[in-house]
Amino acid sequence: MIPNMKNFEDLKAQQLLPPEAYTSQEWFEREKDELFGKTWSFACLEKDIPEVGDYITVQVGNYPLVVLRDRELNVRVFHNICRHRGAKILEGTGNCKTGLKCRYHYWMFNLDGSVRGIPQKDVLFSDCDKANLGLKQASMGVFKGMVFVNPQAEPDQSFDQWLDGIKDDAWEEIGDEVVVALEINYEVQANWKLVFENANDGYHLSYLHEHTLGGPLTNHQKTVSYGLHSCYQGSNQYYAEILKKGNTTLAQTLYAAMDKKALKEATADVAPEDYEEFTGGHDLYFMFPNVVVSSGALGFMYFQIIPVAPNKTISKFRFFTPPGYEKDYYKANNILMPNPGVKTRVGVNEKPIKLSEVEGGFDSKNFQVEDMWICEQMQQGLKSPAYEAGPYAPGTGEGPITFFQANVLSFMDKEKLNEVI
């Protein structure tokens, strides 16, 4: 792990991971055990499981887990495998208020993980001690309404240690009153790390997204680190200057999306240096290993990057806003992220969208589709024997990519990390 930095100019930006880190099944299998099996991963929001028995299942590396509300309304996390023959007990989301029932032989578990019943116990398992057959516990922690899980019952790194300094310098806590305004999932034919690295790349914003986000350039960006995590800070002075010039690219930023005319009028007398305070900031928190969080003037958003295979990732976006603003928020986001042309219900797509299903493909004027497209192009290029990494843009340009890769190596290859850092 690279020490906390307040200035990424001090980091030599470079490619640290070998091509096989993105293409090899063997590397991917090792990640599931050595990385995801030993760190903290985002699972859900507390508000996603409000009632007794509400649950969400998640796959963390090689570990099927279930996050649920017990009878005291505490959030609990268990390994989602029956203690009899190892079958997964629950799937997806739902409510198991009456208990967790394995469909194989009907073993039943309470919401605290203890065994409630074993069919024919007195006849077939008379000498078994039910007290030793409860669901295995994993670890969990809650931060700002977000639930994080670790497959280890006694983690190598405590939740507070993992959070590091980000816990003292983060977004406002998401309240129970906010509602989902937009949820959209993509199936990306690329390695999960390419998706995370692309999100960390400040250099591409003015080029790949020339006709959507439109910037900012790297001199209007700053990134700081907190242990394994980092925070991208886009300069709101940049957005203020564009806003005052009436440049249409600002219509494609979240700060102007809700009501361009009203926002323009409201900021007419606001000096650029005061714009950050006016808008509430423009920060993206990159929580290692695979979730990005943003909270600002228009609401709360997270972007979860879910590894599926060496060349397949699910990118899950959820946007929240105060009640009553859902339709306005969805309509405004269509400026920045036009409906990709796949049949959906309002604000929520039913299944992950593939690039081949998107009307217009790269030319859809949707910046998320642009990102998905370039990640798939990167995945194909990295498989070429001719691939060789070139120089990386310093500072916030591509330094955060090096920072992220160093953190990956701290789990996967400490010897290599010591050689390059």
Q: What is the mean pLDDT of residues 322-339?
A: 65
Lowest mean pLDDT among 166-170, 244-248, 351-355, 375-379: 244-248
224, 363: one domain? yes
Rounded to whole angstroms, the Cα distance separating 291 from 170 reads: 14
Domain extent at residue 387: 176-235+282-420
Verify that 137 and 184 share a domain, yes or no. no
Tell me the pLDDT tens digit for each residue of 253-304: 444 444 444 445 544 555 555 544 444 446 889 999 999 998 765 578 899 9
Residue 413 and residue 292 in one domain: yes
Which of these ranges, 112-126, 153-167, 304-318, 407-421, has the smallest mean pLDDT? Answer: 407-421
- Judge whether residue 97 has pLDDT over 50: yes
Whether residue 297 is contained in a domain is answered as yes
Q: Are residues 230 and 294 in the same domain?
A: yes
Residue 254: inside a domain: no
Pairing of strands 63-69, 353-354: unpaired
102/201 same-domain check: no
* CB distance 288 to 152 below 8 Å: no
Q: What angle do CA 261, 263, 265 make, to 5 degrees?
A: 70
Q: Is the pLDDT of residue 322 over 50?
A: yes
Residues 97 and 186 in one domain: no
b (16+ CB within 10 A) / e for 219-256: ebbbbbbbbbbbbbbbbbbbbbbbbeeeeebbbbbbbb
Residues 288 and 401 in one domain: yes
Question: What is the Cα 146 distance to its own chain's centre?
Answer: 11
30 located within any domain = no
Instruction: For the full predicted model, state whether its pTM sits above 0.75.
Output: yes
CA atoms within 13 A on the CB side of 287: 28
For the segment 61-81, what is each residue's pLDDT rounded down to a tens digit? 999 999 999 999 999 999 999
Instruction: Tell whether 133 and 205 lie within a shared domain.
Output: no
Which secondary structure element, helix H or strand E, spans residue 100, and what is its range? Answer: strand 100-101
- Rg of the chain, C-alpha, whole Å: 23
Asked if residue 246 has pLDDT above 80, the reply is: no
- 288 in the same domain as 182: yes
**Is 202 a residue whose pLDDT tops 80?**
yes
Whether 290 maps to a domain, the answer reads yes
* Antiparallel, parallel or unpaired: β 299-309 and 115-117: unpaired
The answer on pLDDT for 136 being more than 70 is yes
Tens of pLDDT, residues 29-47: 999 999 999 999 999 999 9
Alpha helices in 118-220 (DSSP H): 121-124, 159-163, 192-200
Provide the pLDDT for residue 333: 62
Counted domains in the chain: 2
- The domain boundary, picked from 122, 154, 186, lies at 154
Query: How far is 157 from 159, CA to CA, in rounded Å?
Result: 7
pLDDT in tens, 77-88: 999 999 999 999
Q: b vs e for 188-209, b when ≥16 Cβ sit within 10 Å of the residue's Cβ?
A: bbbbbbbbbbbbbbbbbbbebb
What's the confidence (pLDDT) of residue 323? Answer: 78
Do 201 and 138 share a structural domain?
Answer: no
Q: Is residue 271 part of a domain?
A: no
Which CATH number does the domain housing residue 139 bear? 2.102.10.10
Task: Give the pLDDT confidence score for residue 266 in this predicted structure.
Answer: 46
Same domain flag for 182 and 142: no
- Nearest partner of 329 among 233, 396, 257, 246, judged by Cα: 257
pLDDT at 173: 75
Residues 343 and 204 in one domain: yes
**Residue where a domain stops, chosen among 154, 189, 209:** 154
